[in-house]
């Protein structure tokens, strides 16, 4: 995937809802290829912790791939944390990572997921 496609994905996903805080594409090495962050927000993680989070996502993605043959491919993972909700989507060897405001009702998160899936599928 090239940088232009990665940026298109981040922009399309960030435009789905004003509750999206961050949308980014992380490559298999844990490097952020492209992203969009909502302008009015301060990041919850500093630069070092952000890099660690993305490295963790890349490692997690690589480890879960070993189960794909038996269980099928991962479509997305949704985490609810105390301060934010995150969704990660498998995109080949890359990961699309989206953070969403914490206090969003679940039906809105599901609407965001449902609108992200065709975008991710388009770029596979």
List pLDDT tens digits, range 32-75: 899 999 988 888 877 777 777 877 777 777 777 778 788 888 88
> Tens of pLDDT along 3-16?
999 999 999 999 99
pLDDT at 51: 77
- Tokens standing for 78? 């949704």
d(CA 26, CA 23): 10
* Residue 74: Cβ-neighbour burial (10 angstroms; 0-12, 13-18, 19+): middle
Quickly tell me which residue has 């965001």 as its tokens. 112
Question: CATH homologous superfamily of domain 3-122?
Answer: Dynein light chain 2a, cytoplasmic (3.30.450.30)
Residue 100's CB is within 10 A of a number of other CB atoms, namely: 23
């Amino acid at each position: 995937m090239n940088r232009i496609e990665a940026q298109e994905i981040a922009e399309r996903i960030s435009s789905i809802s004003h509750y999206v805080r961050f949308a980014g594409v992380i490559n298999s090495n844990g490097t952020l290829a492209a992203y969009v962050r909502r302008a009015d927000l301060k990041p919850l993680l500093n630069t070092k912790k952000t890099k660690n989070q993305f490295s963790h996502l890349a490692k997690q993605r690589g480890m879960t791939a070993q189960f794909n043959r038996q269980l099928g491919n991962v479509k997305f993972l949704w985490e609810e944390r105390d301060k934010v909700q995150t969704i990660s989507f498998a995109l080949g060897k890359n990961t699309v990572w989206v953070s969403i405001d914490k206090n969003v009702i679940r039906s809105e998160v599901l609407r965001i997921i449902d609108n992200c899936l065709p975008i991710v599928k388009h770029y596979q």
